[in-house]
């Protein structure tokens, strides 16, 4: 019987052995020369096995197959060294500041594994400081996904980027991709025109000829003629303004975006009853009236509180069961990990189970307060240590439902005391003490368990099945009622942007935007498919770290 015998020696043809040959220039048959003249001895067979680029190069039909020296004219010495290390060992170390150059070089020499690893890292770390350079490289490498991501972040950061030298050096093609984006991070179309003019003026002699082509990305109907007439005249675009038709892009002047998360969704697509707790999350970009997906919460929850502290996004407390009673409340704290693009549960839990109206963010600090056994407990989150620290609590507890808003950088607690008198107490965080309970006449419509939002120095409370708003002004500490203020009898939450002086709220299928400056609502369709979510306004710059 002629039996086949398997013979094997472990590690004889090791990568470490070949790498040592390279380092000692033993049997090396080619020298790779970088664009700055650095020389790196190597073995053709190793490079050819590492990439199709070298495999084709070293075939007999190419001149490099017979040359002792091969020059990589567009790769510097530092990156060339990394490429050769990777070819021999399958690994290399690269400073983050050089990773974009390594990605482009790996793509050029077709080191697919290295190129993919670089691409994955770049997509996780693209931000306003790197998006322009990353977009240029992605375009050269034909990487449409990275190009789209870098372009989106460049568009969202346009106001900041316009002050940089990199922006002024952009090609007309790259600038057109940014200006055409619906998610431009500007407060008005007039700012778009000013940014465009700044780019033209940087090299006016050569760029004047491109004004006509690039001007189509300015949405003239959205301009304020008095504000922009001088710029229009300077760029010879007055006639374009007068002949322009209606544009599709909207401008709300909002610096941030809206994030909604958690809530209730229908049992099935056919049944409209909202009974399933969900972890869904979506982002609304007001400048283009568009919704995009956001990573879902780690846990299904509703009646929770979204808050931002020290540039970290949290979802706190809420209900995790279908029945919204106290037993179903939770004390969990979900934190969004921007590095991993997912929600995590690595923060110490709150001492008590709480719902949304018992949690508030004031001047970057998150406070939680609850009532138990006629006693109130209050604590604040230390976001660095990820723990909750007890702070002073009101001496006399409120009874029943209460709300915990933030007004003029102070935490207020509104509700009933043990004598069933309505009023409030406020917290001085510098002295860590609560003021004496102050009773006041309660408007007949007011219900502390209702939805509420703070708008500057004023607290707006909205009661179900009533369009009126109960307003508390912290400046004179008085209540008033505005009839027919809200367009909806029942809403799914409110958020206010102090910069644009706009308030957002939702029903099951509509969204309302209230402009405080003109006292007017803008109503539009918005079928999210879930409700009882919480929402938070996220600064555009911070959102760049999240997407």
- pLDDT(248) > 60: no
Min mean pLDDT across 23-32, 244-253, 412-421 is at 244-253
**Residue 427: φ, ψ to 5°:** -105, 130
**Residue 59: φ, ψ to 5°:** -75, 160
Query: What mean pLDDT do residues 96-110 have?
Result: 92
- Could you report the per-residue pLDDT of 22-45, keeping only the tens digit for each? 777 788 888 889 999 999 998 988
Q: Where in the chain is the domain with CATH 2.120.10.80?
A: 256-546
Higher confidence at residue 257 or residue 106? 106
The residues with which 261 forms a beta bridge, in sequence order, are: 281, 534
- Could you report the per-residue pLDDT of 308-321, keeping only the tens digit for each? 988 899 999 988 86
Q: Interhelix angle for 131-141 vs 172-179, to 10°?
A: 110
**Residue 493: φ, ψ to 5°:** 120, 160
| Residue 273 CB neighbours (<10 A) | 9
- pLDDT(249) > 70: no
- pLDDT(246) > 80: no
Q: pLDDT band at 274, cuts 50/70/90?
A: low
Instruction: Give the per-residue pLDDT at 104.
Output: 94
Whose CA is closest to 306, among 541, 538, 543? 538
d(CA 536, CA 529) in angstroms, rounded, equals: 18
- pLDDT(6) > 70: no
In angstroms, the Cα distances linking 283 to 157, 286, 299, 337, 538 are: 17, 10, 18, 16, 10
CA torsion sign, 212 to 216 to 220 to 222?
negative
For 267-353, where are the E strands, in sequence order?
274-285, 290-293, 305-309, 312-316, 333-337, 342-344
pLDDT, averaged across the chain: 84
Query: What mean pLDDT do residues 499-505 have?
Result: 84
Instruction: Give the per-residue pLDDT at 373.
Output: 64
Percent helix / strand / coil, the chain, rounded to 5:
30, 30, 40
d(CA 176, CA 424) in angstroms, rounded, equals: 55
Higher confidence at residue 436 or residue 419? 436
Contact between 459 and 477 (Cβ < 8 Å): no
Residue 234: HSE in the Cβ half-sphere, 13 Å Cα cutoff:
12
- Could you report the per-residue pLDDT of 349-407, keeping only the tens digit for each? 998 888 888 899 988 899 998 877 667 889 999 888 889 999 998 877 777 778 888 88
Instruction: Give the per-residue pLDDT at 12.
Output: 46
Q: pLDDT band at 546, cuts 50/70/90?
A: low
Whose CA is closest to 111, among 142, 139, 85? 85
Higher confidence at residue 372 or residue 144? 144
Query: What mean pLDDT do residues 252-263 have?
Result: 77
Min mean pLDDT across 201-215, 285-299, 438-452, 474-488 is at 438-452
d(CA 68, CA 182) in angstroms, rounded, equals: 53
CA torsion sign, 121 to 177 to 293 to 489?
positive
d(CA 84, CA 99) in angstroms, rounded, equals: 15
For 5-98, where are the E strands, in sequence order?
30-34, 39-42, 69-72
Contact between 202 and 168 (Cβ < 8 Å): yes
CA torsion sign, 483 to 484 to 488 to 493?
negative
Whose CA is closest to 412, among 402, 401, 425? 425
Q: pLDDT band at 9, cuts 50/70/90?
A: very low
Q: pLDDT band at 542, cuts 50/70/90?
A: confident
CATH architecture of 141-243: Alpha Horseshoe (1.25)
- Could you report the per-residue pLDDT of 492-501, keeping only the tens digit for each? 888 888 877 8
Quote the tokens at residue 150: 């870098």
CATH architecture of 17-125: 2-Layer Sandwich (3.30)
Contact between 537 and 495 (Cβ < 8 Å): yes
Higher confidence at residue 15 or residue 118? 118
d(CA 511, CA 513) in angstroms, rounded, equals: 7
Higher confidence at residue 544 or residue 341? 341
Helix (DSSP H) and strand (DSSP E) numbers for the chain: 17, 29
Instruction: Give the per-residue pLDDT at 296.
Output: 93
Instruction: Give the per-residue pLDDT at 323.
Output: 52
Instruction: Give the per-residue pLDDT at 101.
Output: 93
CA torsion sign, 133 to 135 to 140 to 146?
positive
Q: Where in the chain is the domain with CATH 3.30.710.10?
A: 17-125
Q: pLDDT band at 442, cuts 50/70/90?
A: confident
Whose CA is closest to 425, among 453, 392, 458? 392
Higher confidence at residue 222 or residue 313? 313
Query: What mean pLDDT do residues 413-436 have?
Result: 85
Q: Could you tell me how far CA 451 lies from the centroid of its own chain?
A: 26
- pLDDT(70) > 70: yes
Q: Are strands 30-34 and 69-72 parallel, antiparallel or unpaired?
A: parallel
pTM summary value? 0.63
Q: Where in the chain is the domain with CATH 1.25.40.420?
A: 141-243
Contact between 285 and 182 (Cβ < 8 Å): yes
| Residue 454 CB neighbours (<10 A) | 21
CATH 2.60.40.420 fits 256-546, yes or no: no
Higher confidence at residue 9 or residue 320? 320
Q: pLDDT band at 207, cuts 50/70/90?
A: very high
Contact between 288 and 183 (Cβ < 8 Å): yes
Instruction: Give the per-residue pLDDT at 384.
Output: 85
Q: Interhelix angle for 144-156 vs 112-125, to 10°?
A: 20
């Amino acid at each position: 019987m002629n039996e086949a015998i398997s013979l094997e020696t472990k590690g004889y043809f090791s990568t470490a052995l070949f790498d040592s040959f390279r380092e000692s220039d033993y049997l090396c048959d080619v020298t790779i020369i970088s664009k700055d003249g650095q020389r790196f001895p190597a073995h053709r067979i190793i490079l050819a096995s590492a990439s199709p680029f070298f495999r084709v190069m070293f075939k007999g039909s190419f001149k490099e197959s017979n040359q002792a020296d091969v020059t990589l004219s567009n790769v510097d010495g530092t990156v060339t060294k990394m490429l050769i290390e990777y070819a021999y060992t399958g690994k290399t170390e690269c400073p983050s500041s050089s990773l974009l150059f390594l990605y482009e070089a790996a793509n050029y020499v077709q080191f697919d594994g290295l190129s993919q690893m670089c691409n994955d890292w770049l997509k996780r770390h693209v931000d306003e400081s790197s998006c322009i350079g990353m977009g240029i490289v992605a375009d050269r490498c034909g990487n449409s996904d990275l190009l789209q991501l870098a372009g989106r972040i460049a568009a969202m950061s346009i106001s900041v980027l316009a002050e940089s030298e990199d922006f002024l050096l952009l090609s007309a093609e790259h600038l057109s991709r940014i200006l055409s984006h619906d998610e431009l991070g500007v407060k008005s179309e007039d700012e778009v025109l000013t940014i465009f003019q700044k780019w033209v003026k940087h090299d006016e002699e050569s760029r004047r000829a491109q004004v006509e082509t690039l001007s189509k990305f300015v949405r003239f109907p959205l301009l304020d003629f008095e504000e922009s007439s001088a710029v229009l005249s300077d760029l010879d675009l007055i006639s374009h303004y007068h002949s322009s038709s209606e544009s599709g892009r909207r401008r709300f002047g909002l610096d941030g975006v809206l994030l909604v998360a958690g809530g209730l969704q229908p049992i099935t697509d056919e049944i409209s009853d909202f009974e399933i707790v969900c972890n869904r999350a979506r982002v609304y970009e007001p400048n283009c009236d568009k919704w995009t997906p956001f990573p879902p919460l780690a846990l299904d929850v509703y009646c929770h509180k979204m808050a931002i502290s020290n540039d970290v996004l949290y979802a706190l407390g809420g209900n995790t069961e279908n029945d919204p009673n106290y037993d179903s409340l939770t004390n969990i704290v979900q934190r969004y990990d921007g590095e991993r693009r997912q929600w995590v549960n690595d923060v110490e839990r709150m001492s008590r189970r709480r719902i949304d109206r018992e949690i508030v963010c004031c001047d970057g600090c998150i406070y939680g307060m609850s009532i138990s056994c006629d006693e109130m407990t209050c604590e604040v989150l230390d976001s660095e240590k990820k723990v909750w620290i007890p702070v002073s609590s009101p001496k006399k507890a409120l009874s029943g439902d209460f709300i915990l808003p933030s007004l003029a950088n102070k935490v207020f607690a509104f509700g009933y005391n043990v004598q069933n008198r309505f009023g409030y107490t406020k917290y001085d965080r510098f002295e860590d003490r609560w003021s004496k309970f102050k009773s006041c006449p309660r408007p007949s419509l007011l219900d502390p368990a209702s939805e509420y939002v703070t708008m500057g120095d004023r607290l707006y409370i909205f009661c179900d099945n009533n369009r009126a708003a109960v307003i508390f002004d912290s400046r004179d500490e008085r209540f008033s009622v505005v009839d027919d203020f809200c367009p909806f009898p029942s809403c799914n939450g409110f958020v206010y942007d102090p910069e644009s002086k706009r308030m957002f709220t939702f029903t099951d299928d509509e969204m309302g935007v209230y402009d405080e400056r003109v006292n007017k609502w803008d109503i539009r369709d918005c079928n999210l498919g879930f409700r009882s979510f919480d929402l938070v306004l996220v600064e555009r710059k911070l959102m760049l770290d999240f997407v």
